[in-house]
Amino acid sequence: MKKIVVLDAFVANSGDLSWDALRELGNVEIYDRTSVAELPKRCEGAYALFTNKVVLNADLLYNLPELKFIGVLATGYNNVDVKTARELGVVVCNVPNYSTYSVAQLVFAHLLNIVNSVGKYADSVKEGDWCKCADFSYRLSNIFELHGLTMAIYGLGNIGSEVAKIADAFGMKVISYTSKTQENLPAYIEKVGKEEMFKRADVLSLNAPLSSDNANFINKETLSLMKPSSILINTARGGLVDEKALADALNSGKIFAAALDVLSSEPPQSSNPLIGARNCYITPHIAWQSDTARTDLLRISVENLRAYIGGKPQNVVF
């Protein structure tokens, strides 16, 4: 039977979901995590490898003559040397679109937490502050309405487009710095230039993939264009943000708040300047982790391998 190896299964499936569909396709070995030292031995003789974040580089791939298929348990595939895989005739497939609604939901979970201070108020009530209050209500911080604010979106793929729909439903004005033409955008999205996007944004949501062209897209210069009342949300890739520049902007009040689900290094070092920065809300890369999204991730991953075995590969990355 074909040897199929899942190299880092734990984050996608810690045991609450089933790998039975994958076991129908071969002899499956599942590892919660795989270190660099463990990688060559575990991959030896494999027909198919599945990786979430484990790096599959050229040196490794050249030493796996039986390998035919790599399945990425994610949408992003920068951890796989796709060029070398192609040269060796190894097909690489990812899982696009599985977490669109899950990620868009977290954008607004973060945003609503910032503008309504839900966690702060709930904690205050638990501590007895309402019971001791002389009035029927009290205010710990300002509460802002989203209606009428401008949501700027950088990256109008599936997730960015869904964020735009939700922003429009809240009554926000939606603008985007995008390569798409105005004619190809929904009527509620206004195409703008880069500088205008930063200047007009009340909320800026980053939803673009990371590339060499947009690394540190958020930096001292672009942050200086933003309003002191503005909010930055990043659910895309940590490398889009110069973290020190953002921390400085938050701590000095140049922008109001930031919500981040991704950082440049994951897990981060305790010295990361954003940990502890003023009005900075960080979650540990959970946007994609809804039960529905993870179920779809595993299902589509198995379908990718089944389709390849059947001679009709799908979701092949190029």
Side chain identity at residue 114, one-letter code? I
Sheet of 27-30, strands arranged across: 27-30, 3-6, 48-51, 69-72, 91-93
Catalytic residue among 285, 299, 303, 306: 285
Options 110, 200, 237, 294, the catalytic residue: 237
Residue 147 annotated in active site: no
User: Which of 66, 145, 221, 266 is an active site residue?
Assistant: 266
Contacting residues for 308 by C-beta, under 8 A, at least 6 apart: 68, 69, 91, 93, 314
Known catalytic residue: 110?
no
Catalytic residue status for 195: no
Name the nearest CA neighbour of 226 among 155, 172, 138, 150.
Answer: 150
Cβ neighbours for 266, distance < 8 A, ≥ 6 positions apart:
238, 284, 285
Q: How far apart are CA 197 and CA 150, in angstroms?
A: 10
HSE of 159, CA atoms in CB hemisphere, 13 A? 26
The catalytic site residues sit at 237, 266, 285
